[in-house]
Amino acid sequence: MAPEVPTTLPTVVITAEQCKGCELCIRECPKNCLSMSDKFNQLGYVYAKYDGEGCTGCGICFYACPEPGTITVYKK
Pick one of 24, 35, 37, 72: the residue that binds ligand SF4 (CB under 6 A).
24
Q: Does 6 bind ligand SF4 (CB under 6 A)?
A: no
- # residues contacting ligand SF4 (CB under 6 A): 28
CB 44 to ligand SF4: min, Å? 13
Q: Which is nearer to ligand SF4, 3 or 58 (CB)?
A: 58
* Helix, strand, coil shares, percent, the chain, to 5: 15, 25, 55
SS3 labels along 54-74: CCCCCCHHHHHCCCCCCEEEE
CB 2 to ligand SF4: min, Å? 18
